[in-house]
Structure 1
C-alpha cells in the first residue's frame, strides 16, 4: 500500500498537516493509535496567527459554531486583580486581532471538516517505526493494525505522534526534554462567566491562569509543587482549596464551583522540548514530536499549525511530491521553522519564568521586567506581536536592559500609540 504522505498522529499537528498537504492534491493517510480523541486540557487558546491560518483553510466557521470565545486582551494581574502588565490585541496590525478560546476537541472537529477527498484517516493503528531504504531515506512506516504488522510506503512521512514520538527516535532524530520544577492543575469549571480576557495571576505560590471556554465554562490552571497533593484526603484537599483561594482574592467568584469540581482536576507535567533537527530525508517532525513549551504563553498548538502551513508551502514551492523535491522542501522546512521555533521557545520560557518563579532573585527580576515593560508602549507592542505570532521580532540585548530599567528607551513612545492607564477588571 502506498501514499504520497503518511501522517502519524491525529492531533492538531497531524490533522493540520493532512489538511495542508491534501490541499496540494497529494494522497494522505493519517494514522492514530487511539480509536477516539481523548478529552484533554490543552490547545485551547488560538493566537491571531493561528486564527488567520484556520480562516485560510476554511475552518473558522466551524470553530465559531462550536462556541469559540473571542478575547482581545491578555493581562498579568496581582492576587487582588490589579493589572501589572496588559497586552491589548486590538493594537495588532492586520485583520486578526483576537485570541479564540475553545476546546481542543473543537479544533480537531474544525480541522477534520476541512480534509479533502484525498485524505484518509485510520484509527486504532500503532505506528511502530520508520522504514528506510538502503540509502537511509525514510520511505514509509511499519504499523500494527488489528494485530497484524504492515508496511505502508510514502514519499513523505510526517511524525506528529507527540512528545514521546516513536518515529522521531526510530529516524535517529534526538529530542531534549527539560522539566520545569512545578506542575499545573487544570480545572474545567462549568456555569461560570469570567471576563473576556486571558488572566494570569502572579500569586505568592505561583501562577493561576483563567480564561473563558464555550458554553459558560472557564479553564483554571493552578501551579503546584510536584508532590503537593500526593496522599491528600478529602478534608486536606478542601483545606488546600481554601488556602489557594485565600492567596488570590480575585478568584473568589470561582470559589463555589471550584470546590464542587476539585475531584475532576487533571495534573499536568510541564516541560520544554526541542529537536535539534526537524527533518531527515523523507520525514518531517511536526508539533510536540519536534517542540514543546510551557503552556503559559499559549504557543504549543499554534506552533503546530505553523509547522503544517510551512511544510505544505515549501513542498509546493519545491515542485511536487517526488523524493528529490520532497527532500529539498524538508531541508527548507528545517531551516525556516527552527529559527521561528527557537524564538517561540525563548518567548515562552521567559514568560513562564516571569510568572512561575515563587522566590529569590528570579521572582524579583520577573517583577522588575513586568513593571518596565508595562511602562514602555514599544516593548508592549513587541511582546504582544511575539505572543500573537503577528510580525514577531526578537527582543535585542538592549531591549532586555530597557526591561530591567537599566537604560532609558528613547523610542518608547515612537508610533501612534500613547501611554495608557490599564483598567482593573477581574475574574
Structure 2
C-alpha cells in the first residue's frame, strides 16, 4: 500500500471525486447542489461506447428530477418502460411486474444509452463543480493519523490535491479502495452476456422482457431512435474466435431455441458484427468508509445486470451521501467522518438487500441445469399467482425501497403454502 503523508494546509476542494461514471457524476450533481466546491477527476479523455447501465428505475427518476437531469433525458427521447416481464422462450408470460401499480409520481422505467445518461448528468453539474478529464489518480494523501486528506495524480505533471474528503468512484477494480485498505472480492458468474444493438426495429413492447430459456437468459428492451438492446447469455468460450459462418449458425440456433425472437431475426443477423461480450460479476465491499474517504458505485458493489440495479444503486449512493453531508461543517473533521460513517451504516444494509435480490433473480433466470430451470420457473409462476408478492417484487425492483422476501414468502412462491398474508391484507 502506498500512502503519502502530507502537512495539513489549505484545501484545493471540499470534495474530490475520482471517476466520472454514473456514480461520480451523480455525486457531483448532488454535492454541487449543496454549494460544495467539488473537483471531479476522470482518467479517460473520452467516454467509450459500452452497452451497460441503460435502464433507470422509478426511484432514480425521482432523484434525477430533483437534480435537474430528468428533463434532459426526456428531451433526448428516453423510452418509458412500463413493465418488467419474465417470459418463456415462446414469449408467454411467467411473471409480470407492472410499474404502473406503484404509488409514485413516476411509475415507469426509462431507457437510454449509457453515454447519454452520463452526458445529461454532466450538463446538470452546478457552478461549484470542476471536471477534469485525462487525469489518473494514483495515490492517496494522508495526515499523521492516517486520515485521507487528498489525492496525488500520476504522470510527469502529477500534483497533490488536498480535499476535506475523497470519494472513490473508480469502478470495480478501484485503486483507491485498495489504497485505503478496504476490500471487495469480485466473483465472476459462470457465464457472460453478449450484447447486440438492433436498428430499424420492428415494433416491440415498451417493457423489459427477460426470457427463461434452456440456454439461459435472453433480455430485450427498446432504446430511443427505433433501436433495441438484446442480451444473450453465453459461456465464456462459446464464440471465441468464431468466424462469420459460425456466428450465423449460432444465431440460427438462438432463434430456434427462443421462438419469441422470430420478429427480430433479420435485424439480429445484420447486427452480429456489432456485438459486445460483457463479463458479469457480483461483489460488495465489507466497508464503505475510512476517515476522509468513502466508496460509491461500482467501487463499493456490483450485481448481475438482469435486475438493472447497479447504476440505480450508484445513484442512490450519491443521494444518501449528499443527504448526510448537507448539514455538516466540512471543516470539522470529526463531524465529517461521523457523517461518512452514518452513510456507511445506511447504505451497507441497503446494498446487502439489493445484492441478495439481484443474485436470487440471476440464479432463477440464468440456470442452464434441468433442475435449476424447473425450480426457477416454479418460483416465477408461484409469484405470479400472488398479487401481494408481485407488488412486493415490483416495489423492490423500483428503487423506491426494499421489503425483502422472507422464508414464508419463498414457500408461497414454491406452492408449498397458500398466501395467507394476502387474505390478512385484504381484510385490513
Please tell me the TM-score bracket, short chain as reference: over 0.9
Please tell me whether residue 168 in structure 1 is matched to residue 177 in structure 2.
Answer: yes
Please tell me whether residue 47 in structure 1 is matched to residue 47 in structure 2.
Answer: no
Q: Show the 5 A alignment for 1:106-125.
A: 106-125=116-135
> What is the aligned residue count?
416
**8 A contact 2:164–2:330 mirrored in 1:** no
- Write the distance in 2 (CA, Å) between the matches of 1:293 and 1:391: 17
Q: Where does residue 197 of structure 1 map in the other structure?
A: 207
* TM-score normalized with structure 2 length: 0.95
**8 A contact 1:126–1:143 mirrored in 2:** yes
- Write the distance in 1 (CA, Å) between the matches of 2:214 and 2:372: 13
Q: Where does residue 47 of structure 2 map in the other structure?
A: 37
CA offsets, 1:4-49, max 9 Å, x none?
0000001110011111111111111000110011111111000000
Secondary structure of 2:326's partner? helix
Q: Where does residue 100 of structure 1 map in the other structure?
A: 110
- Write the distance in 2 (CA, Å) between the matches of 1:321 and 1:388: 37
CA offsets, 1:240-298, max 9 Å, x none?
01001111111111111111110110000001011000111100101000000000000
CA offsets, 1:73-116, max 9 Å, x none?
11111111100100110111121200001111111111111111
- Write the distance in 2 (CA, Å) between the matches of 1:323 and 1:264: 50
Please tell me whether residue 156 in structure 1 is matched to residue 165 in structure 2.
Answer: yes
Q: Show the 5 A alignment for 1:14-413.
A: 14-144=24-154, 147-192=156-201, 193-412=203-422
**8 A contact 2:81–2:109 mirrored in 1:** yes
CA RMSD of aligned residues (A): 1.4
**8 A contact 1:315–1:325 mirrored in 2:** no
Secondary structure of 2:421's partner? coil
Structure 1 segments unaligned to the other structure (5+ residues): 418-427
**8 A contact 1:76–1:83 mirrored in 2:** yes
Cα offset, 1:344, TM superposition: 0.3
CA offsets, 1:192-220, max 9 Å, x none?
13211100011110010000001110100
**8 A contact 2:177–2:295 mirrored in 1:** yes
Structure 2 segments unaligned to the other structure (5+ residues): 1-10
Secondary structure of 2:186's partner? strand
Cα offset, 1:321, TM superposition: 4.8
Secondary structure of 2:416's partner? coil
**8 A contact 1:378–1:414 mirrored in 2:** no
Cα offset, 1:317, TM superposition: 3.7
Secondary structure of 1:175's partner? coil
**8 A contact 1:48–1:390 mirrored in 2:** yes
Distance 1:52 1:416, change over 3 A: farther
* TM-score normalized with structure 1 length: 0.95
Q: Where does residue 422 of structure 1 map in the other structure?
A: none
